[in-house]
Amino acid sequence: MEAINRSNPHATIRANSAYAEESLWTDTLAWHEATRRESYPHQHHTEPSRLPLTERIVPVTNALPLEVADDMVRPVWMRRLDAEYLNLTQATTHQVDVTEYGAVGDGRTDCTLAFRLALRSNRRVHVPAGTYVVRGIRMPSNCVLVGAGQDKTVIKLADGAPKHRRLLLNATPFRGNHHIEVAHLTLDWNVDRLGDVERTSSGDTASSALTFAHVTFGWIHHVTAKNAGLHAFDITAPHYHYLGDGLRAANGSRYVWLDRCEATHYGDDGITTHHSDAIYITNCYCHHPHGRTHTAGFSNSNGIEVDDGSRHVVLVNNLTEGCFGGIEVKAHATSSAAHDVHIFGHVSYHDNRSYNFRHIGHHLADDPDSKTARFLSGTNLVSIEPVRSGLYEKSSPRSLVISAYQDVFINGFTALGDTAYDYEAQPALAIQYKSRNVRLKRITASGFTSARADIELFGGANHTDRVSIEDVSCRHSAPIAIKIGGRLSTVSLHRIEGEQKGGDALISSQSPLDAHDVFAYGFSERVRSDA
């Protein structure tokens, strides 16, 4: 393992990945375009619902195109966001300083009124170095809030602020806002003011450091959000929505870019999206949540979570550390799953579940199949030493879990285990629970010597199926490289290579499979049938 460069996630990815990113992009973008054209041809597709503030999003037939620009993969819709940024720049020519309205950055003076007076439409509001105490601030449309630097300007929630208070929120969530930029500062939700409470949030979209609810065209960059009761950054609709798979809340946010942000010591997730479209997350570092939104020992606190009803989300060159999940793409049982989500470059370091893709409540044999868990890819992903965590004590550490999702492509995955760690005979990569049409290409695993298998395809009544695995290299790792359960009907394996002193079987299967170009060194058996 190479050193972790927390200030430069891209450098850490390059140093630890077994693959060159440019060689992966071509395959992924070709798969993305072919799958989008065949299965998800519509740019935007929602249907009206009789329920208020609700829209129907099934069948899932929509996705948005991707491109390579400025040596990065990015969504094509970023062209529009770039144009809208010029409009924001032209609209905010009136520059003011918050100290002109009485703000004092001494860490004691209540500056709420000063921010309220300064933050007006068509203004660029500067906040000098210092710590500014507020009881919560709101930003109108066509407004920019910029500090002197992440380590210089701090906006902190007052000790007397209630638990439900959001530190920074757009001005009119239900009516909606547009063209808002926040940059070069730190937002401190000040969770310590609550003392030793059982839970640090009050539910729904409250208790977060920064909330964009029903915002169209938003920019958040060079911002640190810390000590949040719920989320550090939440891109969402005005209310969360749990009316069933296939439905989601109306009035979500759209066209929002988060770049070079840091989230730490938060109660639930570092960066999260809900019921929103067209979100771009780049060069961010999310780490070490306190997890006190949840019951102790059952904290699903993730670095980046693409959650209920989210669509068209692209993540590029981010880093997570010390979380339950590094990246979790998911939904609750009574909500629509995030779909059309694509990850290009990520390092997960010491997270419990490095990459966790699932639709809760749609996993078991007698659960309904997910209607919305569709179209997901991960390219050039690195998992370094997943470990057990006090956040979620009963969760076994894994590099990758895919459950319930269909049309999944994982292209370039480097899993680095710790040979001295006890993985308690659990698999490093698990493809399971009704997942379908899953393709794994260019997978490298090492160091999981106490795991049951490097890659396991789970069988049984809720088995995965239609799985293709190619170009796998497992060296000095688990005693079984690929383990396949029963009842799978379509499994293809191509170019599988493993080296393990005293290994059991390179491939162990209870299901029929199509296997070609299989090379085993040091294993007792090359391919073993356990049927």
Q: What is the pTM of this model?
A: 0.98
pLDDT at residue 77, rounded to an integer: 98
pLDDT at residue 392, rounded to an integer: 96
pLDDT at residue 50, rounded to an integer: 85
Are 364 and 337 spatial neighbours (Cβ–Cβ below 8 Å)? no
Per-block average pLDDT, block size 10, for the chain (531 residues)? 91 97 96 98 86 92 96 97 98 98 98 98 98 98 98 98 98 98 99 96 93 98 98 96 94 98 98 98 98 95 98 98 98 98 98 98 98 98 98 97 98 98 98 98 98 98 98 98 98 98 96 97 96 72
Report how many helices (DSSP H) and strands (DSSP E) the chain contains, helices first. Answer: 4, 37
DSSP line for 397-460: PEEEEEES-EEEEEEEEEEE--TTS--TT--SEEEETT-EEEEEEEEEEES-TTSS-SEEE--S
CA angle 163, 285, 260 (to 5 degrees): 100
CA distance 123 to 145: 9
CA distance 347 to 7: 12
pLDDT at residue 343, rounded to an integer: 99
Residue 484: C-alpha distances to residues 343, 364, 464, 469, 487 (Å):
26, 18, 10, 12, 9
Are 359 and 331 spatial neighbours (Cβ–Cβ below 8 Å)? yes
Residue 43: φ, ψ to 5°: -70, -45
CA distance 234 to 263: 11
pLDDT at residue 116, rounded to an integer: 98
Residue with tokens 């009704």: 434
Tokens describing residue 367? 């659960």
pLDDT at residue 48, rounded to an integer: 81
Closest CA to 232 of 285, 194, 278: 285
Are 331 and 338 spatial neighbours (Cβ–Cβ below 8 Å)? yes
10 Å CB burial of residue 366 (0-12, 13-18, 19+) is exposed
Are 208 and 230 spatial neighbours (Cβ–Cβ below 8 Å)? yes
Closest CA to 229 of 291, 283, 182, 186: 291
Tokens describing residue 104? 């004092």
Closest CA to 383 of 403, 413, 420: 413
pLDDT at residue 158, rounded to an integer: 98
Are 350 and 379 spatial neighbours (Cβ–Cβ below 8 Å)? no
Residue 508: C-alpha distances to residues 14, 45, 425, 486, 513 (Å):
33, 43, 15, 11, 10
Are 227 and 235 spatial neighbours (Cβ–Cβ below 8 Å)? no
